[in-house]
Amino acid sequence: MQINKKQIAYNKTTRSQRPQYIVIHDTGNKNKGANAEAHFNYYSSGDRQASADFFVDDKQILQVNDYNTYYTWHCGDGKGKNGITNANSIGIEICVNSDGNYDVAFQNAVALTKHLMTELNIPIDRVVRHYDASGKNCPASMSANNWALWNTFKAQLILNTELTRVNDIVWELAHRGIVSDKSLWLKKLEQDQNAYWLARKIVKYIQGKGV
């Protein structure tokens, strides 16, 4: 996976804590030509009072901020709702320009998110929507049918991956409808090694069977 890099000069703040969340957005801009490069040009040309770490389209993954040094201004409208802030997150913007291939951009965003999850040790339950951080209908391109496409996005993050982290195992079991009380099962798997290994084997089995 190739990540192209440029740097915006505006609307970023020195980071004092490591990223704990990955926040998924879409640009909401369906105009022709509104691709990753165009959004970089827009945000790097002046103070827009907003920014992001990545812009992703069907042609490239474009990193526009050094997220280990600075954080960007992408979900501050939530004022820390659900514990998600600009300061503890990374923002990914998926381009929705009408002359682009959204399906390819979607898959590029999946690949990038998986990469960041591994690099920063971020569990799947901390990959969230802008909606989760502020209540804004974003990424709106995934909101139809009770966020069906968002659920697909999350499921693809762990496709063909053997899950070992408790958070990821419990998320998958809940996503499949096998457990309902995630907090209860998180605590149980953390405290009971037998339950942990059983749950891990169940997830591996259902993934292998394509259930």
| 159-171 pLDDT per residue, tens | 877 888 899 999 8
- Residues 33-67, buried b or exposed e (16+ Cβ, 10 A)? ebbbbbbbeebbeeeeebbbbbbbbbbbbbbbbeb
How far is Cα 124 from Cα 155, in angstroms, rounded to an integer?
9
pLDDT of 150 strictly over 70:
yes
pLDDT of 207 strictly over 80:
no
Half-sphere exposure in the Cβ direction for 46 (13 Å, CA): 2
How far is Cα 186 from Cα 199, in angstroms, rounded to an integer?
11
Q: How far is CA 117 from CA 28, 87, 195, 202, 205, in A?
A: 25, 17, 25, 23, 23
- Say if residues 127 and 117 touch (Cβ distance below 8 Å): yes
Q: Please, which residues have CB within 8 angstroms of residue 189's CB and are 6 or more apart in sequence? A: 166, 169, 170, 195, 196, 199
How do the domains of the chain map onto residue ranges?
3-158, 166-208
For residue 208, the model assigns a pLDDT of 73
pTM: 0.84
- Residue among 102, 110, 131, 86 nearest 34 (CA): 102
For residue 209, the model assigns a pLDDT of 58
pLDDT of 115 strictly over 80:
yes
* pLDDT tens-digit series, residues 170-201: 988 998 889 999 999 999 999 999 999 999 99
- Say if residues 107 and 60 touch (Cβ distance below 8 Å): no
For residue 163, the model assigns a pLDDT of 85
Percent of the chain residues topping a pLDDT of 70 = 99
pLDDT of 9 strictly over 90:
yes
In the structure, what pLDDT confidence band is assigned to residue 210 with cuts at 50, 70 and 90? low
For residue 161, the model assigns a pLDDT of 77
- How confident is the prediction for the chain on average, in pLDDT? 94
How far is Cα 66 from Cα 182, in angstroms, rounded to an integer?
34
Phi, psi at 31, each rounded to 5°: -60, 145
Locate tokens 């409808």: which residue? 177
**pLDDT average, residue stretch 142-149:** 97
Fold entry, domain 3-158 = Lysozyme-like (3.40.80)
pLDDT of 211 strictly over 60:
no
How far is Cα 98 from Cα 201, in angstroms, rounded to an integer?
43
How far is Cα 126 from Cα 168, in angstroms, rounded to an integer?
10
pLDDT of 56 strictly over 70:
yes
**Residue 14 DSSP label:** E
- First and final CA of the chain: distance in angstroms? 28
* pLDDT tens-digit series, residues 12-51: 999 999 999 999 999 999 999 999 999 999 999 999 999 9
For residue 175, the model assigns a pLDDT of 84
**pLDDT average, residue stretch 138-150:** 98
